[in-house]
Structure 1
Amino acid sequence: MRVGVLEGVRDKPHATSLRAVWPAILGLSVVFLVEMLDNSVLNVALPTIARELHASTTALQWITSGYSLLFGGLMVAFGAIADRYGTRKIMLIGLTLFALANFAVLFVSTPGQLIAVRAAIGVTAAMTAPGTMALCFRLFDQENLLMRATSLIATVGLTGMAIGPTVGGLVLQIAPWQTLLVMNVPIALLAIGCIRFGIPADDPAKRNRSPLDLPGALLGTATIILALWTSTLAVEDGWASVTPWAAGLGAVLAAVAFVVRERRTAHPMFDFALLKRPAVSASLAYEAALGLGMAVIGFTVTLQLQLVWGWSPAQAALGNLPQVVVLLAVGPFVEKFVDRLGTHRAAIAGATSFLAGLLIYGLLGHLGYVWIAVALALTAAGMRVVATIAGVTVMRGLPEDQTTIGAAMSDTSQEVASSVGMAVTGTIVAAALGGSLIAVGATAGAAHTFEHAVTTATLALTALCAALIVWAARRGSLGQTPDPVTTDQ
């Protein structure tokens, strides 16, 4: 029996407007909002946590990286689980556990306990993240509505990312730091209610019926976690230390074992043949390019503003506003832009804007803030267009019973690429300075060395981004109807 990628999609009851399914859109937006808030809101409280829990620098690093490692590492595995046992069901379970994990912070009294809580939050967030796009995909048949819904969900999440540090700072003025996690509980409960009553229950007939490849899931998870950890260790300890090399070797060995396992097993967790589909591979390449490029800007802009130019933390936060403003402002126009140019040309145009922003930052960013502002605006506009198109296209290019793992792969590709970008940037900057970042602004020579290192790192990553984007564009399929995916049964 031959099964097409869109088989079963046409016989579903689809919404004809966003208003018709507003509880579902609200619930999915809230899920993305919680993920973005949890990434940023706690950072502002780290000094307070260090003081009250007597946490060391290493403990503070694990409070943040423990969450991100498990969140990024487990998304693909939970995507595969959701495709087999129900995307909506796994998301509701994940949200319930997410609320409980955040509530558990009230009982924390040591750094180790907080690390455990953050790790639990990372695991439960990984359960919910892949389902956001998969469930949104379930609601609509029209491409423009799917793109509009995706853009709206992203806008809510980006707003959370933008206001996270500000909200965190204001909350700390009037309440204990634990409030920053406890306030996720009512948000998660709202999401549970909206998804529970706004999205139909999973149809067992449309699940992936192949057995879950547990060894493959474990090897895939180990590969991603070790890859993310390698990047973290490279920035923190430097390549002179044995730890990043050991973690990197572990990641390579796990990746090789994963590929061998998936090619030999009768029921792979993910069918590598799907990566041959132009829509899928091009979309993942675009996502990886975005992760690489945003890593260097996210890592160095604030350092440039504060350490070289002497801006205060508050001024540096305002200095990043062009990026946030453009991300939010461009959202409502993405659909019209894609309608005018078509998805393929719109993706190329967005990617060109993204690359132009990176080049301006790398070549001119050290000359004055106006160039940084222009770079932030161009990269943000390009990222918003490309991310929306790639996110929708990779979902359209996969069989319906693998959409959740497809969404997880999209998120993971950007997450891993971002970590690689951070490692490259951190390595180049550390090699150039040969000392502490704090001393960058002490002399004109140190500031010049830092700026030269930033230029080198930015241009190197821009070249990698350009290679990925050119390859993706040559696939030439983001604006085309996916070819049928077939399986023999």
Structure 2
Amino acid sequence: MSADVLDVREQARATSLRAVWPAILGLSVVFLVEMLDNSVLNVALPTIARDLNASASDLQWIASGYSLLFGGLMIAFGAVADRYGTRRVMLIGLSLFALASLAVLAVRTPGGLVAVRAAIGVAAAMTAPGTMALCFRLFDADNLLMRATALISTVGLVGLAVGPTLGGLVLQVLPWQALLVLNVPVAALAAMCIRFGIPADDPAHRNRAPLDLPGALLGTATIILALWTATLVVEDGWSRATPWLAGAAAVVSAVGFVVRERRTAHPMFDFALIKRPRVAASLAYQAALGLGMAALAYSVSLQLQLVWGWSPAEAALGNLPQVITMIAIGPFVEKFVERFGAGRAGPIGAAAVIAGLLSYALLGRYHYAWIAVALVLASAGMRVVMIIATVGVMRGLPEDRTAIGAALTDTSQEVATSVGMAVTGTIVAAALTGSLANVGASAAGVRTFENAVTVATLALTVVCAALVAWAARRSAKAE
């Protein structure tokens, strides 16, 4: 038996997070930098516009280029990782991440920065599937896997929360390029921890099927087009041709992907796997969470600023209950699941999300206290369900499919969030007769906006509840 295989088995029998702390640190840092790059550059957009003479369209692509490629390529790179080694792809991705971030020093035009952001998004997509897949490799016990998942995701949530603040502080003393250059030492630390803290990939545990390149291209195109369509709907509405064209292209690509995967001898992803009760339930939970997050993410900040007249800084503080709750509740998820069992803890957490959405939809217009209650309920439930769903997918798939399973988990939630925001944006835009920026100028405008938000949130809540009910039944079959 090889030393690598022995190492894998020794690591898998770890009885605490402390026993594998370098690996946990490395994976946490990877997730941290992925979340930071989602938000840290946004605060610098006005500075970038002046420095590079960038147009509004340029700034849109600078902000969204990363997220489109990051979300769109995760499943493809998950399939690559399952075949060529999760740890290996992670380390290559971290190296490219550092190089692409360093390339910002050579940027002189908006197009150059868009290219750099796109390259960083591609590199991040290489690392993302490995975070949970490599974590799964470390433990046999579900409670330890939940504990590690909670810790890693908490670090990422902290990064997402402090990203804009950190960016603002850095801009006080350094040029905007420093926001990306800081990725270099962070990526180096992550690579070192993973290199020495996680054993090399065992060839016996890899997916031996050839990579379905046409399927990977069609799947990637489908996700990118779907995310882009949702972005266009939120920004421009359905009045222009571009969202319709992008949406139609996404549908065509999706049909092509399904046809290809069902006919090829070696599909990129076997659809039979997502029919497994534990996997199907977990993905439905993730999609429900995405819809719930969309309803709150789109509406709350607009209500606080456009209707109530809060400043951007005050609105950011108004959203703090969500971030604080998600961070604070992480360490208690394991005990919650131990007490109620995953089969009951999932529906309980999902019920909290639904209660939060209903609180906001029906009472959020009357006082901020109801918004705070909604944010706390929804974020607490989301945290519980996210961890349970992640572990459910990891445990429900064969070991040689864990990377693509992790990618599928993240992608399902991201696509659902984009769809939810597009639905909310469409309903609000259809209700308003004037500009969204002027809704607070009259009592009629305020009522119209609030009624539209209520309708949109209730609609998404109904779909969310249906997904949760279906997931609970599927989860019961897995026990």
TM-score range, shorter chain: over 0.9
Partner of 1:61: 60
Partner of 1:81: 80
Deviation at 1:296, TM superposition (A): 1.6
Conserved in 1, the CA contact under 8 Å of 2:91 and 2:195? yes
1:393 and 2:396 aligned: no
| Secondary structure in 2 matching 1:307 | helix
Moved over 3 A (4+): 8-13
CA offsets per residue over residues 20-72 of structure 1, 9 Å max, x none? Answer: 00000000000000011001111111111112111111111111111111111
- Structure 2 residue identity aligned to 1:94: G
Query: What is the rounded CA distance, in whole Å, between the counterparts of 2:62 and 2:421 in structure 1?
Result: 19
Partner of 1:139: 138
Partner of 1:203: 202
Deviation at 1:83, TM superposition (A): 0.2
Deviation at 1:11, TM superposition (A): 8.5
Partner of 1:337: 336
Conserved in 2, the CA contact under 8 Å of 1:343 and 1:478? no
Partner of 2:164: 165
Partner of 1:314: 313
Deviation at 1:366, TM superposition (A): 0.6
Partner of 2:464: 465
Partner of 1:324: 323
Gaps of 5+ in 1: 1-7, 481-489
Aligned residues: 473
1:427 and 2:426 aligned: yes
Conserved in 2, the CA contact under 8 Å of 1:283 and 1:478? no
Spell out the pairing of 1:85-484 with structure 2 (5 A cutoff). 85-477=84-476, 480=479
Query: What is the rounded CA distance, in whole Å, between the counterparts of 1:144 and 1:218 in structure 2?
Result: 37
Partner of 1:4: none
Q: RMSD in angstroms over aligned alpha carbons?
A: 1.4
CA offsets per residue over residues 322-362 of structure 1, 9 Å max, x none? Answer: 00110011011000000000001000100000000001001
Conserved in 2, the CA contact under 8 Å of 1:147 and 1:389? yes
Query: What is the rounded CA distance, in whole Å, between the counterparts of 1:362 and 1:50 in structure 2?
Result: 37
Going from structure 1 to structure 2, the CA distance change for 1:411 and 1:304 (only over 3 Å counts) comes to: same
Query: What is the rounded CA distance, in whole Å, between the counterparts of 1:9 and 1:124 in structure 2?
Result: 26
Deviation at 1:13, TM superposition (A): 4.3
- Structure 1 residue identity aligned to 2:357: L
Going from structure 1 to structure 2, the CA distance change for 1:378 and 1:13 (only over 3 Å counts) comes to: closer
Query: What is the rounded CA distance, in whole Å, between the counterparts of 1:234 and 1:312 in structure 2?
Result: 25
Conserved in 2, the CA contact under 8 Å of 1:10 and 1:141? no
Query: What is the rounded CA distance, in whole Å, between the counterparts of 2:281 and 2:10 in structure 1?
Result: 28
Query: What is the rounded CA distance, in whole Å, between the counterparts of 2:91 and 2:476 in structure 1?
Result: 34
- Structure 1 residue identity aligned to 2:185: P
Deviation at 1:434, TM superposition (A): 3.2
Deviation at 1:14, TM superposition (A): 2.4
Conserved in 1, the CA contact under 8 Å of 2:428 and 2:452? yes
| Secondary structure in 2 matching 1:366 | coil
- Structure 2 residue identity aligned to 1:224: I
Deviation at 1:476, TM superposition (A): 2.8
Conserved in 2, the CA contact under 8 Å of 1:393 and 1:478? no
| Secondary structure in 1 matching 2:238 | coil
Gaps of 5+ in 2: 1-6
Query: What is the rounded CA distance, in whole Å, between the counterparts of 1:80 and 1:418 in structure 2?
Result: 23
Percent of aligned positions that are identical: 75
Conserved in 2, the CA contact under 8 Å of 1:9 and 1:141? no
Query: What is the rounded CA distance, in whole Å, between the counterparts of 1:178 and 1:248 in structure 2?
Result: 34
